[in-house]
Structure 1
Amino acid sequence: MTAVTVVVLAAYVGNIVLANWTSTHWSPLQFGVFAVPAGTLWAGMTFTLRDLLHEALGGRGVLGAIAAGAGLSWLLATPQIAVASVLAFTTSELIGSIVYSRLRGRAVLGAVLGSNLVGLGIDSVLFVPLAFGGFALVPGQVLGKTVATALTVAALLAAKTARRAVRR
């Protein structure tokens, strides 16, 4: 395992920890008309980090990372947040990983974008009602995760462009 892989794995697990901790201890954030669960941005970044792990560790490595993330969810949150997180996280991460592996042959950034959009939709629709008892926070969660996806895809695009410039 390379140093970069270790950093990405630590970031992946760290984002899961932060998402569950903030969802448990902070009230939803208000952005205009949208109420956004506090852990949304952290949770949104896990989708791209999962795809980077897929590149580095393959499908089996990603499954191990998903299991570690699900296990940490049990330790770091209230029982209601933990159950919601494990169910939503495991389902969305597994399906997102499948989408990524199917799209990966075409373009990495397209695969990241596609898997993130599928994952954030599934995660939001499952997590919010289980964690908070209704669907009122789903639009804010989808918005927050979409912003996280846009930021992480933009960062990947910038890194790809910088690598190309260095090679020239």
Structure 2
Amino acid sequence: MKVSGPAGSATLLAYIATIPAANLAVAHFGAVPVGFGYAAPAGVYMVGLALVLRDLSREAAGRLAVLAAIAVGIVLSYLLADPGLAVASAAAFAVAELADFAVYEPLRRRGLLTAMLASNAVGLFVDSILFLKMAFGSLEYLPGQILGKVWMTLAAVAVLFLLRRRRRAAV
């Protein structure tokens, strides 16, 4: 699914916005339920969405634009959120996004959805472990972090699958 023009720019801007939005959610809402009795810091859903939007932004704008977007998102996060939270988030996000990138690129030839699922799985584990350890000094929320990000990844992939299917049926 190739996105270009205004839709591609919107995808890239939405991706950038998820980064500080995740930190602001954690700072203002604390922990939220994610299902099955688990909780996670409130930014979990934004980070799950960011993983998917990173891959879509890569498709829309290319690798260099995504790397620049990661940097912009980290700076915005630092300026808008609690500095300690922003540093933990920035470190975890940067490492997780680069891990996601490393998995996504070689798998992209096998299909967008395959690359997204695999790269998001890697990215969500890396981000969760690093962020929780750095921000809270504990992995207490790890099951909830993983579950919340998986929900967002699955929801986004399901929407993309349905859009692709609808587009093919129209052709």
Q: Per-residue CA shift, 1:106-147, capped at 9, x if unaligned?
A: 111000111111000000000012112211011100110010
* CA distance in structure 2 between the aligned counterparts of 1:81 and 1:93, rounded to whole angstroms: 17
- Paired residues of 2:100 and 2:120 also in contact (CA < 8 A): yes
Q: Per-residue CA shift, 1:45-80, capped at 9, x if unaligned?
A: 101110011112221111111111111121121122
Correspondence list, 1:1-168, <5 A: 2-30=5-33, 31-167=35-171
TM-score by length of 1: 0.95
Deviation of the 1:17 alpha carbon: 2.4
Amino acid in structure 2 at the alignment position of 1:56:
A
* Count of aligned positions: 167
TM-score by length of 2: 0.93
Which is worse superposed, 140-149 or 16-25?
A: 16-25
* CA distance in structure 2 between the aligned counterparts of 1:144 and 1:32, rounded to whole angstroms: 11
* CA distance in structure 2 between the aligned counterparts of 1:142 and 1:80, rounded to whole angstroms: 22
Unaligned runs of 5+ in 1: none
List structure 1 runs of 4+ shifted beyond 2 angstroms. Answer: 30-33
* CA distance in structure 1 between the aligned counterparts of 2:17 and 2:162, rounded to whole angstroms: 23
- Paired residues of 1:80 and 1:130 also in contact (CA < 8 A): no
State the identity as a percent.
43
Q: Classify 1:80/1:154 alpha carbon distance in 2 versus 1 (closer, same or farther; 3 Å).
A: same
Unaligned runs of 5+ in 2: none
- Paired residues of 1:95 and 1:119 also in contact (CA < 8 A): yes
Structure 2 counterpart SS, 1:105 = helix
Deviation of the 1:32 alpha carbon: 4.3
Report the RMSD for the aligned CA atoms in angstroms: 1.2
- Paired residues of 1:24 and 1:78 also in contact (CA < 8 A): yes
